[in-house]
């Protein structure tokens, strides 16, 4: 790990990526990434762009506001779905993308020209190897079909007898293994599961299980916080099903249930260490409204409150 971090620091310095602007342009690194993505893919829904780049909702709003004021990006309502925004580069934005591409190419050329001896061949060969390894390892599997089919062969069904015990056991095992959270976390999950079991007759409460040929693959629950507020709880996706879109499908089921059930908003609490889950929440339209050390299971991290307003 130390070697990887040392390499990223060295490469960042060599490529001159840090600073107040990217490649001595007027854009930050994040703004340049948005411009690059839209130049490469063409017009894109805001939600899809956020998912692709990994931006949370609040930061994306501020970033796109700056790009819009700067005349680089236009936002318009999707004619097929008034809830969605479509992002497009303006002519000035396309010009900025071409300028950034030229600056980047010139910077790489200068870097390679400055290498002594066989340095160019050694560096380009090593980077080709690194790229091949990362693409093979990190490229996500095809997304599952929202109705439960697709490459993951996962289906989503209502919670049934025996599922709550599995949810508690898998939360305890996976979070201990992946984050080191022990008895306190398991006791908290046990309390949530007990509450869900006690309120099983509440029509404003529902749970779903993702299931595949090998058994259960994930879970999510929608519980009642108050008359107008639902709480999303216990989202979990087994490692074997990550990258298939099952997590987003489970969250979408919860959101789709909450509106007809009479709720005006959905809230949830997560930890800042849960990066994959936070990306799913942001892509589904949730916004982070609070971050605090109180209630965090991670001694070096924060607990976060997120909310989603349900529009008629």
Spatial CA neighbour of 59 closest among 282, 284, 255, 307 = 282
Write down the pLDDT at residue 31: 84
Residues 6+ apart with CB under 8 A from 94: 39
Write down the pLDDT at residue 139: 43
Write down the pLDDT at residue 81: 65
Domain residue spans of the chain: 2-138, 155-309
Task: Assess contact for 64 and 291: CB atoms under 8 A.
Answer: no
Vertex 280 angle, CA 278 and 283, to 5°: 110
User: What values do phi and psi take at 266, rounded to 5?
Assistant: -125, 135
Write down the pLDDT at residue 199: 81
Q: Could you confirm whether domain 2-138 is CATH 1.10.10.10?
A: yes
**Correct CATH for 155-309 of 3.40.50.720, 3.10.20.440, 3.40.630.30, 3.20.20.70:** 3.40.630.30
Write down the pLDDT at residue 209: 96
Write down the pLDDT at residue 250: 95
Write down the pLDDT at residue 249: 93
What is the per-residue DSSP string for 160-215? -TTHHHHHHHHHHHHHHHHH---HHHHHHHHHHHHHHHHTTT-TT-EEEEEEETTE
Write down the pLDDT at residue 218: 96
Q: What is the pLDDT along the chain (312 residues), one digit of tens a residue?
A: 666 666 666 666 666 555 556 667 778 878 888 887 788 767 878 777 777 677 777 777 888 888 888 899 998 887 766 777 888 889 898 888 888 878 777 777 777 788 887 777 787 767 767 765 665 454 444 333 333 333 345 789 999 989 999 999 999 999 998 888 888 999 999 999 999 998 877 889 999 999 988 899 999 999 999 999 999 999 999 998 988 899 999 999 999 999 899 999 999 999 988 988 999 999 999 999 999 988 888 877 889 999 999 875
> How is residue 273 written in tokens?
């260490």
Write down the pLDDT at residue 35: 85
pTM (whole model) above 0.85: no
Write down the pLDDT at residue 150: 38
**Torsion from C-alpha of 23, 27, 29, 34, nearest 10 degrees:** -120
CA distance 281 to 259: 17
Q: How many CA atoms lie within 13 A of 230 on its CB side?
A: 30
């Amino acid at each position: 790990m130390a070697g990887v971090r040392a390499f990223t620091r060295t490469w960042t310095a060599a490529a001159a990526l840090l600073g107040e602007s990217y490649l001595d342009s007027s854009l930050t690194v994040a703004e340049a990434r948005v411009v690059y993505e839209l130049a490469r893919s063409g017009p894109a829904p805001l939600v899809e762009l956020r998912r692709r780049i990994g931006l949370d909702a609040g930061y994306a709003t501020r970033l796109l506001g700056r790009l819009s004021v700067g005349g680089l990006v236009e936002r318009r309502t999707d004619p097929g779905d008034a809830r969605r925004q479509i992002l497009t580069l303006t002519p000035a934005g396309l010009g900025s993308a071409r300028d950034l591409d030229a600056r980047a190419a010139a910077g790489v050329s200068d870097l390679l020209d400055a290498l002594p001896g066989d340095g160019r061949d050694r560096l380009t060969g090593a980077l080709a190897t690194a790229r091949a390894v990362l693409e093979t390892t990190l490229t996500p599997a095809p997304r599952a079909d929202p109705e439960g089919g697709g490459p993951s062969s996962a289906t989503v069904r209502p919670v049934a007898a025996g599922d709550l015990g599995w949810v508690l056991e898998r939360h305890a095992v996976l979070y201990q293994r992946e984050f080191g959270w022990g008895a306190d976390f398991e006791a908290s999950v046990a309390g949530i599961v007990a509450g869900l079991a006690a309120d099983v007759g509440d029509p404003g409460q529902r749970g779903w299980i993702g299931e595949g040929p090998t058994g259960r693959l994930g879970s999510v629950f929608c519980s009642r916080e108050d008359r107008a507020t639902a709480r999303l709880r216990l989202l979990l996706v087994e490692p074997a099903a990550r990258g298939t879109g099952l997590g987003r499908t489970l969250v979408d089921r919860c959101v789709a249930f909450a509106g007809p059930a009479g709720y005006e908003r959905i809230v949830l609490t997560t930890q800042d260490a849960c990066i994959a889950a936070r990306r799913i929440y942001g892509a589904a339209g949730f916004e982070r409204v609070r971050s605090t050390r109180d209630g965090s299971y991670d001694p070096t991290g924060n607990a976060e409150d997120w909310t989603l307003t349900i529009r008629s």
